[in-house]
Amino acid sequence: MMPLNRRQAGLTLVELMIAMTLSLVLMLGVIQVFLSVRQTYSANDATSRMQESGRFALTFISSSVRLGGYLEPGSILPKPMAIQGPNCVGPDDTPCSSNGNGNASDSIAVAFQVPPDSSDSNKRRDCAGTEVTTANVGKVLVNVFRVSDGNLTCSSYFLGETAWLSQNQALVPGIDAMQVLYGISTDGNPEGVTRYVSANRVSKWADVRAVRVAVLANSQTTVSPAPPQRGYYLLDAAALTPNDGFARQIFSTTIGLKNTY
């Protein structure tokens, strides 16, 4: 019997092209899913970073403002004004609480005697984390918050002295601007707040009973797709209209002063 003539089976050119086309379609789908997931992750990461900056900025400022005017029980020091106005005496003749022109950022200065650190009762610190030495424990500290080079910064000094304890320490990145309004009473009730005004319209700083703060936080990186250009209005300031591809959000809070008795 003659052996059968067997030939090796293979793909035709048409079958090969169909297989390559299907593979290409599947590959494009996988790439599209990968790019979509990556874009979503980047957007979520940028949003989280922006929200973190906004919350941290308000937390740092609020923590100091709540202590404004505080003196330890039994202290013989004269009671300081909780909020130090533009004419306060600080190092380098630097203004304390001030009102920025147009959409320029405001600054705010808060005075109080530093209580013990919540995590270590043997330590006391200023807004930048600098330790207050034992020799200075009984003094009144002034924390000054500003926005500089895209950061919320803090400087501090002891009331009546001309040397900085901390100076221009960056606390929170990704902060474009800060605006501050001060709650005062106009109906004769010293404990109530009837209106909020800017620093240049406060006639008597001892009458300030609350502080309203707004900050504009950014994502620190560009997002895709780029957010539409728009104006951001912080309290009474003129609009900010950045156009750099960063995501942005306004964060605000109002803090009552509890040590103004």
Encode pLDDT of 5-43 as tens digits: 555 566 677 777 777 787 788 888 777 776 666 666 666
Taking CA 180 as the corner, what is the angle to CA 248 and CA 104, rounded to the nearest 5 degrees? Answer: 65
Q: Is the pLDDT of residue 212 over 90?
A: yes
Q: What's the confidence (pLDDT) of residue 119? A: 65
Q: What's the confidence (pLDDT) of residue 221? A: 87
- Out of 86-90, 181-185, 249-253, pick the least confident: 86-90
Copy the structure tokens of residue 122.
């043997």
- Give the Cα separation of 112 and 67 in Å (integer): 6
pLDDT bracket for residue 4 (50, 70, 90): low
Q: Chain-wide mean pLDDT for the chain?
A: 85
- Give the Cα separation of 106 and 126 in Å (integer): 20
What SS3 state is found at 98?
Answer: strand
The proportion of the chain whose per-residue pLDDT surpasses 90, expressed as a percent, equals: 45
HSE-up of residue 170 (Cα within 13 Å, Cβ side): 9
Query: Would you say the pTM of this structure is higher than 0.75?
Result: yes
| SS3 per-residue string spanning 102-137 | CCCCCEEEEEEECCCECCECCCCECCCCCECCHHHC
Q: What's the confidence (pLDDT) of residue 252? A: 96
| Residue type present at position 170 | A
Q: What's the confidence (pLDDT) of residue 56? A: 96
Reading phi first (left if > 0) and then psi (alpha if -120 to 50, else beta), residue 21 is in: alpha
Q: What's the confidence (pLDDT) of residue 144? A: 94
Q: What's the confidence (pLDDT) of residue 32? A: 75
Contact between 50 and 247 (Cβ < 8 Å): yes
- Residue whose C-alpha is closest to residue 104's, from 52, 176, 161, 27: 176
- Residue whose C-alpha is closest to residue 162's, from 94, 82, 84, 68: 94
* Length in residues, the chain: 261
- Give the Cα separation of 39 and 45 in Å (integer): 10
> Which residue has better confidence, 152 or 137?
152
**Residue-wise pLDDT tens digits, 65-119:** 999 999 988 888 888 889 998 877 677 766 688 998 889 999 999 999 988 776 6
- Give the Cα separation of 34 and 257 in Å (integer): 51
